Amino acid sequence: MVGSPFGGGVRFRITATATALALLATVPGGLLRSADVRAAAPREGIDVSAYQGSSIAWHSVAASGISFAYIRAADGGSPDGQFATNWRGAAAAGVTPGAYLFFEPNQNPVTQADLLISQLRAVGFTHGDLVPTIDVETTDGESQAVVVANLRIVVNSVSAAIGSLPAIYCSPSWWNGNINSAAFTLDPLWVANWFVSQPSVPENNWGGTGWQVWQFSDAGVVPGISGRVDLDQGGVRSLPYYGFPDPLALPQAANVAGNPQTVSDQPGDINVLWRGTNGHLWSLSFRNGTWGTSSMDVSAAGGAAAALVSDPSVVSAGPGLIDAFWEGEDGSLWYAGFTGGWFGSGTWSAPVSLGFHPLGSAPRAVSPARGLIDVFWKGTGGGLWVDRYDGGWSGATPLDTDTVGGNPVVASTGQGSDTVFWRDTTGALFADTGEPYGFLGPERLTSTALAADPSVSAAGAGIDVFWNSAGELWHGALSGSTWSPGVALGTETVAGNPSVVDLAPGSVIVDSREPSGLMASSLYTTASGLVGPEGLGATASSDPSSVVFAGAGAIDVVWRSSSDTLWVAPACPGCAAPAIPVFNPAG
């Protein structure tokens, strides 16, 4: 590519147009090209065009350590004559291909988008390839308003065809000086910033999610290519794949019972905690770009009384802090805490009984502000209780609830406030919101019965609520004191409890287990409803647990297999929403 060396981040959203939905059923499930779920070291790549000639030796390129390549499909309305040759050569050598369009703002945007889509069809673009990219680095003398308007047309046209937003390529200084718009920060970002140790990223770190691919040099030397070539690097999560990389088994966690729980305490790190087959609390961490080689028994020092009779509830009240709560064999509320150390190290405290007993349900914890933790549970009388930790425990307090069915579920919109949801004995959904001055009182939200506890996630001032009603997925939303009534989503049948993660207000990843056990992921948006589901390529014996890497935008989903082993997959391959393949190569 030709561009400024001083430049630009990533995120996905699905624009669920009628075209995309109509094509959804035509795409086979399963990966046609495997992709790494995790890499301890960044993945190395290149980008090429006809300028590199017609004789790239792709097997030599692959042998040098290059694992992905962006290949120019077109310059404006003119096709790149080497695109198909380069694409097929890269794929045959095991180099994951992606296409890019050099965007010409003074040319017809629909014509440019149609050409890119035609080129993708010609090479059989499919699940496991990289999403196409729009290379934005010239104004062609057009005004900022014209450039932005024509770029929006290209992005929308490509999105309508493939069911996923394309990536944007730019340099940060050029973007800031010529585009200066945050309108595209839901697209994955391929940033061009040469000869620096870390790239700069425009638009407030591209909407908070950073870069996905970094072009760090225009002067690389790669075996198999004559002359210089652009060098690229993938982010520490995953490249912006079209669809989902293969799930990964974690055999170092082979004693899982119940539903695993996940938490992220700082960017790039997650912990998975679970009730082991021996009744102990176990933990496995992903830190410094890799999974731990062994799992840790957290609760052994607590003896028989600390044995788990419920799945744990885990929460982070700040970087390097993880807290786990559970109901012990003695009926009491138990606790253990993790404090992080240097370079991903850290220690778990010995388990401690907090003295509240007997519990009538699994506890649920949330952190409504840095350093604060609220823990909710059902008492043996059927009512809800809460206690707050703020440097010390405030004391258990009963809430004004009728008899609660199932387990409480809680989410926080921040500023010290949280909302607890529960089912009553008829299965109807209720909620109560706690403000600094106390709880407001219970409110009935549904008249239809829930088949399982709800799943909740907060973004901004709103909380999205999903639930299983007779196997059908429903959604409602609570914004302040205003409840948007539940709506049946209709496109997905679920078993048990889905796991949900808000990407932004009105945009939610929904991971679920279907009645067959198949793990699936969908995207819910206020504008488009539920898009998906797409299978993640594995079956589960537990409900899923999804986690956003704190501050990093990427999402992992974890579950227990039929052999009681943990499995993990990116519910969002390197971005903030899944790319659900709906592209029909036949046109």
- Per the annotation, the verdict on 140 as an active-site residue is no
Distances in Å between the alpha carbon of 579 and those of 17, 297, 362, 495, 576?
A: 14, 36, 35, 23, 10
DSSP letter (8 states) at residue 323 = E
Tokens of residue 529, six digits: 């409803």
Q: Which residues pair with 414 in a beta bridge?
A: 417
269 is catalytic: no
Beta bridge partners of 506: none
Q: Contacts for 213-217 with beta carbons within 8 Å, 24 or more apart? A: 213/10, 213/45, 213/70, 213/167, 213/188, 213/189, 213/239, 213/240, 214/190, 215/1, 215/47, 215/169, 215/190, 215/191
Identified catalytic residue from 75, 137, 511, 543: 137
Using CA atoms, how far apart are residues 452 and 245, in angstroms rounded to an integer?
30
Cα–Cα separations (whole angstroms), residue 335 to 261, 313, 341, 356: 15, 10, 20, 11
CA separation for the pair 304, 259 (Å, rounded): 21
Measured distance CA(584)–CA(125) in Å, rounded: 9
Tokens representing 326? 């559970």
Concerning whether 137 is annotated as a catalytic residue, the answer is yes
Q: Give me the catalytic one of 47, 230, 502, 543.
A: 47
Where b means 16+ CB within 10 Å and e means fewer, 287-302 reads beeebbeebbebbbeb
Query: Which residue is catalytic, options 104, 135, 246, 265?
Result: 135
- Do residues 176 and 206 touch, judged by C-beta distance below 8 A? no
Catalytic sites, residue numbers = 47, 135, 137
